[in-house]
Amino acid sequence: MTALPPLDPVADVLTLTRALVDAPSVSGGEGPLADAVEAALRALGGLEVERVGDAVLGRTDLGRPTRVVLAGHLDTVPIADNVPSRLDEATGRLYGCGTSDMKAGDAVMLRLAGRFGVPGAEPAHDLTFVFYDNEEVEAVKNGLGRVARERRGWLYGDLAILLEPTDGEIEGGCQGTLRAVLEVPGRRAHSARSWLGVNAIHGAAGILATLAAYEAREVDIDGCVYREGLNAVRIEGGVAGNVVPDACTVTVNLRYAPDRDEDAAEAHVREVFADALAAGVTLTVVDNAGGALPGLSEPAAAAFVAAVGRPARAKLGWTDVARFAAFGIPAVNYGPGDPTLAHTREEHVLVDRLQPAEDALVAYLSTPTDQERP
């Protein structure tokens, strides 16, 4: 792949967003964009910059008593005939792959680096910028996870802000997610003599009834209401058109509030399906990622909420804020993109969401918290 045009962190946020969207960076192919981001950060002159694979790190070292970490992923899902970007001036929408998730947020980060990462800048906090790769694919490839393993010290701070799409609202913490496979046993037989077998698909009826009757728990943490959910997301079974099947599997997904840890989430699922398990169904957990508490009572987080000027809400999904929470660092999601448009062919960002997101972050990063006031 050829080198990309240089990125200018002092260009306006719309121009930067378009430049980022016009640089294809599907997961695994972020290299050229990471090169451009690295070159832009090094040219500022006020940041220590380091490269970890296709993750680019930059930070100030001004001796401030607090540090804020800003993070955003550079990769997108596969392009759906929506690159290069297209600006519809009549509706104020910028269309393109990654506009919402999350190159608009990356553009805001670059603008902040251009403002606070130059000699003579006076942010109220020391700042760390983390642009990382492979967020949209399996966790083992996640660039932030690689940074956590190889350069963990770069992720420490008093607050972490992920510029994930939140439509300009603060979304505190995130939910945990668990996937489990329930395997229903049966006995194969010819369908003309079905009484000689045990139909495993029929045996899944109790599992589906349990799911249909499940009452989701709502949990209020720091004023953020997390609504849990337990749903079947896949069902598989059947051998042939004339065979009673001897196996059926139901894959379920639990989205759980961050007051549960991974072990508690698994215990809950096993309790929900206790009758099925007693009847011979087996349950295997195939994925379990814990959530993150909002941590909004921490001074740095409370100050950020005040700077945005609106109350925080719960993040109904899993994001990399969970990695920061695992280190005991309060973390929030805040970005100009609309999460409901992520990964769609018609993905776009409202242009009038871009500058307010930047302005709110500039206000926060320019204002000392109580622990920094003389």
Respond yes or no: is residue 220 known to be catalytic: no
Which residues is 76 bridged to in the sheet?
26
Which among 68, 108, 144 has a CA at the least distance from the CA of 301? 68
Which among 205, 234, 106, 235 has a CA at the least distance from the CA of 161? 106
240's CB contacts (< 8 A; 6+ apart) are: none
Per the CB < 8 A criterion, the answer to whether 99 and 48 are in contact is no
- DSSP string across 87-110: EETTTTEEESTTIIIIIHHHHHHH
| Active-site entry in 75, 126, 158, 228 | 75
Tokens (6 digits) for 203: 């045996």
Residue with tokens 């509030």: 257
The torsion region of residue 172 among left (phi > 0), alpha (psi -120 to 50) and beta comes to beta
Find the Cα–Cα–Cα–Cα dihedral 219, 220, 221, 223, rounded to 10°. Answer: 160
Which residues is 59 bridged to in the sheet?
48, 128
Respond yes or no: is residue 135 known to be catalytic: yes
- Strand extents, DSSP E, the chain: 48-52, 55-59, 67-73, 86-88, 93-95, 126-132, 159-162, 171-172, 176-185, 189-190, 218-221, 224-227, 229-237, 243-244, 247-256, 282-289, 313-314, 331-333, 348-350
Query: Helix, strand, coil shares of the chain as percentages rounded to 5?
Result: 35, 25, 40
| Active-site entry in 135, 136, 171, 228 | 135
Q: Prior bond to 339 cis, omega within 30?
A: no
Positions annotated as catalytic residues are: 75, 135
